[in-house]
């Protein structure tokens, strides 16, 4: 372990005491950060009636699934919203894994004309805030390509991102070039090298890329909100926003909707925790 | 082989072009205007398509929350639906964008005459009609009858004659106790503008422009209104914190508030439904609610002012998009007219407890009219509607767009700060005046009393 | 002979090799998407910023959108709000995640992972879902959750999102309390990479726990801190969703940040030209910050 704390290592009692103290502080802080999610899940099991909220409690007085039923009854498309989110997220993930890794490989290991400045261009583009492109992109999709209310409109603009190309290029660079050169001498084409040698070596980085992309696509609200107007094409995030009422407040059903929208991410997180946590450090510089 | 493929492609192309030519697709975008509207409109679309086989209608259903933002965005990209629901005050911004359509050119004079002229005036800018009205809606306040009487309010007299600000303050003072606020008004976020609109009318500001087309929110009446609001929020008879729109009626239904706003006549139905649910004890009633009868009340009138009521006309307008041709517009306007008249108008208006604003709608109205309503409320609503002052004729699209910008960027934000007790009425007024003078010439604003 | 050499290298330079073909094939899809959905919109944004945009017949108005922006008091208020938000949230969030990372450090790998996961969890829920919850936590009636906590400490209830005194504070608090997970994990990775001999050397010099943090951990985590600082600042300049969902920019425009202002101009007031002009100004500021990043990082590497 790290030498930062080494002072107490010879004194076991002190070390144990220190760790218990730290655990308490850490758990307290964790409870504070987790509270909104906890509150959301608990409240979603309350009854589906309007409330002024003045008798609010953390746990519902009566436990019921009514609010989930209310959410699904709210729109004939509630279930479809979740399906739409899956379609959009999965397609975006596939596109990124295939196209970004291909481009990343080309930039890292294929010596072709224009590769340097093209890669530089993509790097520069990564720094442009999305506010610059949002208006023209919206006009392009809705007016020029007539793609509003289609899956294509939600998928295509993000189907391969500069960030993912950058990420995979960084990784592929670490693969030793002689390995690839010898395959080339054996008569392998670049496609062969890529699919038979490079990809099998890159499972982790591809998984990280897939998960990060899935998470950001699943949670994205703004773009699908802009390009969909028909409720059958909403993603769950957009649907959740419409789940508000002008003259009354149905708190528990709203929380049920919020819980449902977050549920797939929670499941994925607990199943693939390792990749989630690893993914954070992949993009960051090494300390 | 090649020839067959070519032939098939040609056939497909022909079918495609044929279909495109035979079918004129009309898109309609509407929020849930009434509880059943989004189901009703499917039926009406089907009826219209049956009568006009060459027309195909597509309905885009939105929520109130997103409707206006979405429509504005689509219109700006040139992708507006052919027909959309709007409140009259936003028509100017669409005309300014260049997507408004003067529908009177595509509609028979005889059909146009079906609609009440005063309602039609709302849907017009500089004498051009851009849409057709669905109803004149009124917004005021409402309350718990029993509590009001206990607080010394003579409901029948108030409903019949209106009341003064002093009388109102006295009643909400009496109605306030440790469990109940005398008055609650939803004021969190953008709903602050409701407060301003509804009470602004009682301070003599019936519109952002007067008959001489001068901007009125710079007048002393505005200062008077802001001062009255300041007095109300400081009185302690009203919550001194932000109240979400979704909570106001629930607070009244649970006995936490005696009077609430904004309120519409149709809330009587909500109270009745809740009373029935309480009787049935089936778990669908508002949490912790009590049985209560609803009284629809006029907004108190400020000293020296003529009583009036805040009203708005909502309707459907036709918009320009890439599809727009003369031929297409004829179909669009025909469907627009179909949706706004006859049984359709009556079906929309009945559950809102509002009378239709076209002759054919009024003829059909008795078939759908809600019955068993409180007579006092019905009479009060009718009287309030008659007090609504129509906007002056001749306001330009630019003026109305500027007024909207001032409202969004200055007046509502300053009003929010006033409600939170952070600035005084005078501060708010000065800020509004300064901002108005940046947009309008001094000669285009009213100073002093209206 | 020299002539031959020139044509040879000329040929080599313009001869299309098999690697060229493969390279272009591999990037073809990415390039196409990049051109259509990034490059074209950027150029189009620049063009639009000089237009009074109308769907049918825009007018060229020169620099008016830019001059209007600089005349607009709300724009400067939005800039100020963005700066205040950034200056408070970014350093505080680094401080918090640095401290938590230090506290997680002495535990075994398994325990570390558990804590990492717990702190990362709020970050995976969507902003829409969380903002719905936070709206209720910040309810300004006395029964609002935060107000109940305050009541426990005998502090009067606050108006949270409905008062311009506390609205910005509320958004900051929300940002600080959700989503430190990523930073914590990155810090832990950096700290685990510090060589033990450095701590031992410091101990020989008589350094205690805090001195070790100050003289060893701090300087060695500097590149990480810089990275997080710069990405944090860039992210915070574009912050938009929480204000959009929770306050709409109010009250009294106290939470109108530059991202929200651009959104409103574009999609609420249909002023596409103005929105593009303001977005381009934002891009210029952000690229200035990014350049600063490279400079700082460069200096650090030399050091």
State chain C's mean pLDDT as an integer: 87
Tens-digit pLDDT profile for residues C63-105: 999 999 999 889 999 999 999 999 999 999 999 999 999 999 9
Residue A266's pLDDT is what? 92
Tens-digit pLDDT profile for residues C7-32: 556 556 677 888 888 999 999 999 99
**pLDDT digits (tens), chain A, 287 positions:** 567 776 666 677 888 888 899 999 999 999 989 999 999 999 899 888 877 666 667 788 788 898 899 888 888 888 999 999 999 999 999 999 999 999 999 999 998 988 999 999 988 888 888 899 999 999 999 988 989 899 999 999 999 999 899 989 988 988 888 888 888 888 888 898 999 889 998 888 899 899 999 999 999 999 999 999 888 999 999 988 877 655 566 788 888 988 999 999 999 998 988 888 888 877 664 43
Q: Which residue in C229, C116, C94, C125 sits closest to A278, CA to CA? A: C116
- Interface of B to C at Cβ within 8 Å reads 69, 72-73, 75-80, 93, 97-99, 187-190, 192, 239-244, 247, 320, 405, 408-409, 412-414, 416-417, 419-423
Report the DSSP pairing between strands C51-52 and C59-60: antiparallel
- Model confidence band, residue C1 (pLDDT cutoffs 50, 70, 90): very low
Which burial class, exposed, middle or buried, applies to B386 when counting CB atoms under 10 A from its CB (0-12, 13-18, 19+)? Answer: exposed
Q: At what angle do helices B326-340 and B342-349 cross, to 10 degrees?
A: 50
- Model confidence band, residue B419 (pLDDT cutoffs 50, 70, 90): confident
Determine if the pTM surpasses 0.95: no
Q: Is the Cβ–Cβ distance between A6 and C209 less than 8 Å?
A: no
State chain B's mean pLDDT as an integer: 90
Domain span at residue B52 reads 22-134+312-374
> Cβ of C162 and B241 within 8 Å?
yes
Helix (H) or strand (E) holding B387: helix B375-387
* Alpha-helical runs (H) found in B301-374: 326-340, 342-349, 359-368
Range A85-104 burial, b when 16+ CB lie within 10 A, else e: beebbbbbbebbbebbbbbb
Q: What average pLDDT does this structure show over B169-186?
A: 93
B154 belongs to a structural domain? no
Please give the DSSP secondary-structure letter assigned to residue B412. Answer: H
Q: Is B19's pLDDT higher than 60?
A: no
B287 belongs to a structural domain? no
CATH code for the part of the protein at A76-242: 1.10.3720.10
Residue C295's pLDDT is what? 76
Q: Residues with Cβ < 8 Å from C137, sequence gap 6 or more? A: A36, A39, C144, C145, C146
Please tell me whether residues B333 and B405 are part of one structural domain. no
Please tell me whether residues B370 and B404 are part of one structural domain. no
B182 belongs to a structural domain? no
Please tell me whether residues B413 and B323 are part of one structural domain. no
What is the phi-psi region of residue B28: left when phi exceeds 0, alpha when psi lies from -120 to 50, beta otherwise? beta
Q: What is the CA radius of gyration of chain C?
A: 26
How many A-C residue pairs are in contact by the CB < 8 A criterion?
Answer: 319
Q: Which phi and psi (to 5°) does residue B405 adopt?
A: -65, -45
Cβ neighbours of A245 in B, within 8 Å: 246
Residue A285's pLDDT is what? 47
Q: Which phi and psi (to 5°) does residue B62 adopt?
A: -120, 175
Cβ neighbours of B98 in C, within 8 Å: 54-57
Share of chain B above pLDDT 70, in %: 95
Q: Start-end ranges of CATH 1.10.3720.10 in chain A?
A: 76-242
C76–A contact, CB cutoff 8 A: no
> Cβ of B413 and C253 within 8 Å?
yes
Q: Which residue in B209, B261, B138 sits closest to B440, CA to CA? A: B209
Neighbours of B146 (CB within 10 A): 15
Tens-digit pLDDT profile for residues C151-186: 999 998 888 888 888 999 999 999 998 878 889 999
Please tell me whether residues B31 and B129 are part of one structural domain. yes
Is C194 strand, coil or helix?
A: coil
* Alpha-helical runs (H) found in B203-353: 220-234, 248-253, 267-280, 326-340, 342-349
Rounded Cα distance, B328 and B145, in Å: 52
Task: Give the start-to-end residue ranges of the domains of chain C.
Answer: 2-40, 65-128+176-302
Tens-digit pLDDT profile for residues C214-272: 988 988 898 888 888 888 988 898 888 889 888 888 788 999 999 999 999 999 888 99
C131–B contact, CB cutoff 8 A: no
Residue C231's pLDDT is what? 85
CATH code for the part of the protein at C65-128+176-302: 1.10.3720.10
Please tell me whether residues B53 and B95 are part of one structural domain. yes
Specify the CATH number for the domain of residue B127: 3.40.190.10
B357 belongs to a structural domain? yes
Q: Residues with Cβ < 8 Å from C272, sequence gap 6 or more? A: A135, A139, B76, C48, C51, C53, C266
> Cβ of A139 and C44 within 8 Å?
yes
- Model confidence band, residue C133 (pLDDT cutoffs 50, 70, 90): confident
Q: Which phi and psi (to 5°) does residue B201 adopt?
A: -60, -40
Tens-digit pLDDT profile for residues B165-175: 999 999 999 99
Please tell me whether residues B370 and B402 are part of one structural domain. no
- Model confidence band, residue B8 (pLDDT cutoffs 50, 70, 90): low
In chain A the first and final C-alpha atoms are separated, in Å, by: 17
Distance from B199 to chain C by nearest Cα, in Å? 20
Residue C7's pLDDT is what? 56
What is the phi-psi region of residue B172: left when phi exceeds 0, alpha when psi lies from -120 to 50, beta otherwise? alpha
Rounded Cα distance, C191 and C187, in Å: 6
Q: For this complex, say whether ipTM is above 0.90.
A: no
Please tell me whether residues B53 and B103 are part of one structural domain. yes
């Amino acid at each position: 372990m790290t030498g930062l704390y080494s002072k107490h290592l010879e004194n076991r009692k002190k070390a144990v005491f220190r760790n218990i103290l730290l655990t308490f502080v850490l758990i307290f802080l964790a409870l504070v950060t987790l509270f909104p999610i906890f509150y959301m899940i608990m409240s979603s099991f309350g009854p589906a009636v309007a409330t002024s909220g003045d008798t609010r409690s953390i746990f519902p007085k009566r436990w019921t699934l009514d609010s989930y039923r209310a959410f699904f009854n709210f729109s004939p498309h509630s279930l479809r919203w979740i399906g739409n989110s899956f379609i959009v997220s999965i397609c975006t993930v596939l596109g990124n894994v295939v196209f970004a890794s291909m481009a990343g490989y080309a930039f890292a290991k294929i010596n072709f004309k224009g590769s340097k400045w093209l890669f530089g261009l993509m790097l520069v583009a990564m720094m442009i805030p999305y506010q610059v492109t949002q208006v023209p992109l919206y006009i392009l999709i809705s007016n020029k390509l007539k793609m509003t209310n289609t899956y294509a409109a939600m998928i295509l603009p993000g189907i391969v991102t500069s960030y993912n190309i950058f990420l995979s290029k960084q990784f592929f660079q670490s693969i030793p070039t002689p390995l690839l050169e010898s395959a080339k001498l054996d008569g392998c084409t670049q496609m062969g090298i890529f699919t038979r040698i490079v990809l099998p070596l890159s499972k982790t980085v591809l998984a990280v890329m897939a998960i990060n992309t899935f998470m950001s696509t699943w949670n994205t609200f703004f773009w699908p909100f802009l390009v969909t107007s028909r409720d059958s094409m909403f993603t769950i995030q957009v649907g959740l926003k419409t789940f508000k009422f002008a003259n009354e407040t149905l708190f528990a059903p709203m929380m049920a909707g919020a819980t449902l929208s977050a549920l797939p991410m929670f499941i994925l997180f607990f199943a693939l925790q390792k990749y989630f946590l690893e993914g954070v450090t992949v993009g960051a510089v090494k300390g | 082989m090649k020839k067959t493929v070519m032939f098939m492609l040609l056939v497909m192309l022909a079918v495609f072009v044929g279909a495109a030519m035979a079918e004129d697709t009309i898109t309609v975008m509407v929020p849930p205007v009434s509880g059943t509207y989004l189901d009703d409109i499917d039926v009406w679309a089907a009826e219209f398509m049956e009568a006009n086989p060459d027309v195909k209608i597509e309905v885009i259903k939105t929520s109130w929350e997103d409707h206006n933002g979405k429509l504005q965005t689509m219109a700006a990209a040139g992708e507006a639906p052919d027909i959309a629901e709007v409140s009259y005050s936003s028509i100017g911004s669409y005309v300014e964008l260049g997507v408004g359509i003067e529908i009177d050119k595509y509609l028979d004079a005889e059909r146009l005459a079906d609609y009440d002229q005063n309602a039609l005036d709302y849907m017009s800018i500089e004498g051009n009609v851009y849409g057709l009205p669905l109803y004149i809606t009124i917004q005021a306040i409402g309350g718990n009858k029993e509590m009001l009487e206990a607080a010394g309010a003579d409901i029948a007299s108030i409903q019949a004659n209106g009341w003064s600000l002093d009388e109102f303050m006295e009643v909400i003072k009496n109605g306030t106790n440790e469990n109940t606020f005398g008055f609650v008004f939803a004021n969190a976020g953008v709903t602050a503008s409701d407060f301003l609109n509804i009470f602004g009318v009682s301070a003599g500001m019936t519109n952002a422009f007067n008959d001489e087309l001068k901007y009125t929110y710079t007048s002393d009446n505005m200062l008077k209104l802001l001062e009255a609001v300041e007095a109300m929020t400081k009185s302690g008879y009203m919550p001194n914190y932000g109240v979400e729109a979704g909570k106001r009626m629930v607070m009244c239904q649970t006995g936490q508030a005696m009077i609430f706003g904004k309120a519409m006549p149709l809330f009587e139905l909500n109270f009745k439904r809740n009373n029935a649910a309480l009787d049935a004890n089936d778990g669908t009633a508002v949490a912790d609610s009590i049985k209560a009868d609803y009284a629809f009340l006029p907004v108190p009138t400020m000293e020296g002012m003529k009583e009036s009521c805040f009203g708005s006309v909502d309707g459907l307008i036709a918009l320009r998009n890439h599809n727009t041709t003369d031929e297409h517009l004829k179909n669009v306007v025909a469907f627009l007219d179909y949706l706004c008249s006859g049984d359709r108008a009556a079906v929309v208006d009945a559950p809102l407890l509002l009378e239709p604003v076209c002759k054919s709608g009024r003829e059909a109205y008795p078939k759908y009219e809600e019955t068993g309503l409180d007579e006092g409320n019905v009479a009060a609503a009718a009287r309030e509607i008659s007090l609504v002052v129509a906007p002056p004729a001749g306001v330009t699209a630019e003026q109305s767009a500027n007024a909207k910008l001032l409202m969004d960027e200055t007046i509502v934000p300053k009003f929010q700060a006033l409600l939170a007790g952070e600035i005084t009425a005078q501060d708010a007024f000065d800020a509004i005046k300064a901002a108005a003078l940046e947009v309008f010439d001094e000669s285009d604003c009213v100073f002093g009393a209206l | 002979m020299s002539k031959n050499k020139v044509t040879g290298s000329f040929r080599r330079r313009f001869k299309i090799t098999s690697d060229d073909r493969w390279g272009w094939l591999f990037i073809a899809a990415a390039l196409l998407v990049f051109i259509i959905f990034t490059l074209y919109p950027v150029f189009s944004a620049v063009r639009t910023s000089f237009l009074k945009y109308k769907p049918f017949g825009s007018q060229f108005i020169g620099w008016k959108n830019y001059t209007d922006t600089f005349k607009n008091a709300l724009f400067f208020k939005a800039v100020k709000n963005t700066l205040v938000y950034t200056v408070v949230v970014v350093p505080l969030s680094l401080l918090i995640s640095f401290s938590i990372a230090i506290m997680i450090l002495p535990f075994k790998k398994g325990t570390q992972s558990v804590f990492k996961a717990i702190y990362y969890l709020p970050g995976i829920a969507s902003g829409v879902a969380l903002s719905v919850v936070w709206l209720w936590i910040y309810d300004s009636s006395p029964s609002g959750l935060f107000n109940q906590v305050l009541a426990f400490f005998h502090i009067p209830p606050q108006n949270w999102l409905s008062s311009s005194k506390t609205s910005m504070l509320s958004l900051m608090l929300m940002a600080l309390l959700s989503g430190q997970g990523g930073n914590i994990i990155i810090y832990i990775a950096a700290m685990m990479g510090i060589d033990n001999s450095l701590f031992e050397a410091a101990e020989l010099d008589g350094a205690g726990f805090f001195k070790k943090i100050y003289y060893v951990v701090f300087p060695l985590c500097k590149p990480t801190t810089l990275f997080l600082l710069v990405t944090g600042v860039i992210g915070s300049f574009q912050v938009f969703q929480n204000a959009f969902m929770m306050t709409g920019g109010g009250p009294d425009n106290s939470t109108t940040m530059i991202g929200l202002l651009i959104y409103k101009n574009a999609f609420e007031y249909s002023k596409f030209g103005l929105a593009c002009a303001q977005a381009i100004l934002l891009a210029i500021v952000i690229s200035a910050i990014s350049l600063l990043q490279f400079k700082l990082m460069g200096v650090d590497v030399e050091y």
